[in-house]
Amino acid sequence: MQKKNPIYTGENSFSLLQQYIEDGHFSRLIFLVDENTHEHCLPILLQQLEDLPPTEVLEIEAGEGSKDAEVLLQLWFALSDLGADRYSLIINVGGGVVTDLGGFLAGTFMRGIPFVNIPTSLLAMVDASNGGKTGVNLGGYKNRVGLFLNPEVVCVNVGFLETLPLRERKSGFAEMLKHGLISDYHYFNELLELDIEEDYPTEVMIERSIAIKQSFIDKDFRESGPRKALNFGHSIGHAIESLSLHSASPLLHGEAIILGMMAEVLLSVQYCGFDPELAGEINSKLKKIYPELVMPEDHSTIVELIYGDKKNKSQQLNFSLLSKPGQCEVNVKVEEKYIIEALKKVKNP
Amino acid sequence: MQKKNPIYTGENSFSLLQQYIEDGHFSRLIFLVDENTHEHCLPILLQQLEDLPPTEVLEIEAGEGSKDAEVLLQLWFALSDLGADRYSLIINVGGGVVTDLGGFLAGTFMRGIPFVNIPTSLLAMVDASNGGKTGVNLGGYKNRVGLFLNPEVVCVNVGFLETLPLRERKSGFAEMLKHGLISDYHYFNELLELDIEEDYPTEVMIERSIAIKQSFIDKDFRESGPRKALNFGHSIGHAIESLSLHSASPLLHGEAIILGMMAEVLLSVQYCGFDPELAGEINSKLKKIYPELVMPEDHSTIVELIYGDKKNKSQQLNFSLLSKPGQCEVNVKVEEKYIIEALKKVKNP
């Protein structure tokens, strides 16, 4: 089992980070950013920190396209050229692309140098930046290459949410809704009361999502059992996301996951005895929050991509589905025809 | 601390491996080989194993040039194309290049799938295949990218030594001599009695070297202290090896390490009070076994490459040097001018 990282939240988060950096006596800091977080977040962060060791900035292009093995290769060279050594600290400032890529970069450079995640998107705050999953995509397959590796520290500051476009906020909100569905239906209903178009999730809500995720990880860091509950909506959602990567208008992760959850709620009825009426209600509510989302029509490619997904053993498709509101069952064997049926139903409810 | 892998040696090694494979219920086996081990070793191995799951072979070009980030990228794609999943087993059959590269490949594919090392070179048997160091080179810098990660099993079968050219055998012998110098001078002298031009190291000798290496790793898996003793000869040796990679006649790893040890024996006199007379004797003995080795003349590039070596913090050069025969001191600060002096002396003893 790996060392568990502290998660700094609340108004002291930056001063705790300052203390961590001071105590670490690093030879240098290397900030990994994309062009958006470079412009909007790094200045806010640097304003809060003082007396830093020599500092470098590596910038990648914003978007899922950067979470790629080829970009990784460039970053390994860039780190090497900067003279990064075992005593350097990598600080990932960004959304899930930056924290997933930066974590893998740090974990493999010189057989592993320390890194810190500073999530700036809602999605990264409640999901990507903690839990130890790092990785890059390979030829369209998500996270085909990666490591289970915790950062030294995660520093969550909700102030960064104000730098986000609404679409990104709604993408992150999808994972929060998932946390409610798999673990705490009361929390799910509480989230539904928030008008995400107008308001920000509260710090308490974000901490609740982090705690739910952490409770699964504590049981099963390497995802051999209970942790798979966090994949609810993701077997289909990842396939939709992969498919959309190559389209003219790629979906954000959370958007694909909403579509995946809607289909998997229906599979939950089919396979886990989930109440069909409640399933319909949940899907209506999700549809109301995300009226703009449309299920892609290429169902057979979605199924092919699901078979390519690493969460499945050989030719068996294992899903994480809801047995009750707030409760999830893992390793449910699912047949192709019912997946197709669910995809069709979500398209034409 | 990571799970410690068993090391199968002796005549039962293949049947133990057979048992391990049966117990694992793997979806498929993927053998990583180079063209030499594909031809000379894989058939021997497959003859010893039976009732295997579906089997695939990935072949790389023999030589250090394959231990490279670009080749790694190709292998990630190849694994993906083969449909490798979390229930696949990678079996590395080869020398240090295959085991270092294959270990990293397995450790990062789908956030880590299991792998077994079957060292076929003497160097890999006594050094590369065990200890958990995996990695690839980047732009000429050795092991710039990698992981500390143990294989599931190491299976050492001395029969493979007969497939090796003499030059490779002598390269592996260098690491055995190092084990003697840093930990057991009696063993060093015993090794000197072997005529490596004519004979093979015995199984007992190989097990002794494995045990010496293991004793350092048990104390310090991630090389923050005592394990650095195993780097004796390597600060200078790696630099010589990097330099020679780009030359018309690249040195083998052990050849570069012999030259590195000869220079570092002299630095041991300078910094650690090592007996100068004994230092001279050791170097004469090494010279006698390896009369063909010549120190490269480009001393300033060697020093530059040492500064680029990850074992050093910022601008300080930390060496592992001998304090006594069979005893090593780590983190010894060394100055550039004495390195140059030692390099000159080895060239013109």
Span B269-298, pLDDT tens digits: 999 999 999 999 999 999 999 999 999 999
Selected residue with higher pLDDT from B246 and A176: A176
Closest Cα in chain B to A134: B111
The pLDDT > 90 percentage for chain A reads 89
Using a CB–CB cutoff of 8 Å, tell me whether A3 touches chain B: no
Among the partner-chain residues B76, B87, B144, the one whose CB lies closest to the CB of A110 is: B144
Q: Which residues of B140-157 are buried (b: 16+ CB within 10 A; e: fewer)?
A: ebbbbbbbbbbbbbbbbb
Using the Cβ of B307 and the Cβ atoms of chain A, whether some distance falls under 8 Å is answered with no
Q: Closest CB to B80: pick one of A77, A139, A314.
A: A139
Kindly give, in sequence order, each residue whose CB lies less than 8 Å from that of residue B337, ignoring residues fewer than 6 positions away.
Answer: none
pLDDT given for residue A7 in this prediction: 96
- Position A32 scores a pLDDT of 98
> Cβ contact (<8 Å) for B138 and A77?
yes
Q: What is the reported pTM?
A: 0.91
CB contact B147 to A (< 8 Å): yes
Question: What's the pLDDT tens digit per position in A247-263?
Answer: 899 999 999 999 999 99
B108, B228, B238, best to mutate vs chain A, most A CBs in 10 Å: B108
pLDDT in tens, A195-247: 999 999 999 999 999 999 999 999 999 999 999 999 999 999 999 998 998 88
Query: Residue A142: pLDDT band by 50, 70, 90 thresholds?
Result: confident
> Does position A349 have pLDDT exceeding 70, yes or no?
no
Test the B interface: residue of A111, A133, A134 with most B CBs within 10 Å: A111
pLDDT of residue B310: 45
Which candidate in B110, B221, B238, B305 is best for mutational testing of the A interface (most A CBs within 10 A)? B110
Q: How confident is the model at residue A158 (pLDDT cuts 50, 70, 90)?
A: very high
Low-confidence residues of chain B: pLDDT under 70: 1, 309-315, 348-349
Partners of B135 in the β-ladder: B146
Count of A-B CB contacts under 8 Å:
90
Contact call for B148 and A110, based on CB within 8 A: no
Question: How does strand A153-155 pair with strand A141-148?
Answer: unpaired
- Asked whether the beta carbons of residue B86 and residue A135 sit closer than 8 angstroms, the reply is no
Least Cα distance to B105 among B124, B121, B84, B127 occurs for: B84
pLDDT at A312 over 60: no
B313·A141 Cβ contact <8 A: no
Of A104, A146, A314, nearest to B85 by CB-CB distance is A314
Whole-angstrom Cα distance, residue B210 to residue B320? 19
For residue B141, list chain A residues with Cβ-Cβ distance below 8 A. Answer: 80
End-to-end CA, chain B:
44
pLDDT at B2: 75
Instruction: Tell me what the mean pLDDT of segment A331-344 comes to.
Output: 95
Interface of B with A in 30-89 (CB under 8 A): 69-70, 73, 76-77, 80, 85-87
For residue B113, what pLDDT is reported?
A: 97
Q: What residues have CB less than 8 Å from B300, skipping those under 6 apart?
A: B340
Q: And the tokens for B279?
A: 């230092």
The answer to whether the CB of B238 falls within 8 A of the CB of B256 is yes
Q: What is the pLDDT of residue A348?
A: 67
**Average confidence (pLDDT) over A93-122:** 97
Residue B128, both tokens: 């590369």
Distance from CA of A226 to the nearest CA of B (A): 17
Distances (CA, A) of A257 to A3, A261, A290, A293, B260: 29, 6, 11, 11, 55
pLDDT of residue A1: 59
Neighbour order of strands in the sheet with A28-34: A7-8, A153-155, A115-119, A88-94, A28-34, A55-60
Q: How far is A303 from chain B (nearest CA, A)?
A: 15
Q: Between residues A163 and A16, which one has the greater pLDDT?
A: A16
- Residue B313 near residue B323, CB atoms below 8 Å: no
Token pair in block for residue B5: 């892998």
Amino acid letter for position B188 = F
- Note which residues in 87-146 of chain A have CB less than 8 A from chain B: 87, 104, 107-112, 133-135, 138-139, 141, 143-146
Report how far apart, in Å, the C-alpha atoms of B87 and of each of A105, A144, A318 are: 25, 14, 14
Q: Which residue has the tokens 């200078």?
A: B236
Q: Are strands A88-94 and A153-155 parallel, antiparallel or unpaired?
A: unpaired
pLDDT for the residue B53: 96
Instruction: Provide the pLDDT for residue B313.
Output: 45
Which residue from A73, A145, A313 is facing B108, i.e. has the nearest CB?
Answer: A145
Mutate: best of A133, A141, A145, partner B, most B CBs <10 A: A145
Q: Cβ separation of A87 and B313 shorter than 8 Å?
A: yes
Q: How far does B223 lie from chain A, in Å, by closest CA?
A: 11
The answer to whether residue A56 scores a pLDDT higher than 80 is yes
**pLDDT given at position A347:** 80
Confidence of residue A344 (pLDDT cuts 50, 70, 90): very high
| Three-class SS state of A130 | coil
What pLDDT is stored for residue B4 in this prediction? Answer: 87
Answer whether A261's CB lies under 8 Å from A178's CB.
yes
Residue B312 forms contact with A (CB below 8 Å):
yes
pLDDT score, position A310? 46
Residue B111 has its nearest CB partner, among A112, A138, A146, at: A146
Cα torsion at A186, A192, A198, A202 (round to 10°)? Answer: 10
First-to-last alpha carbon distance for chain A, in angstroms, is 44
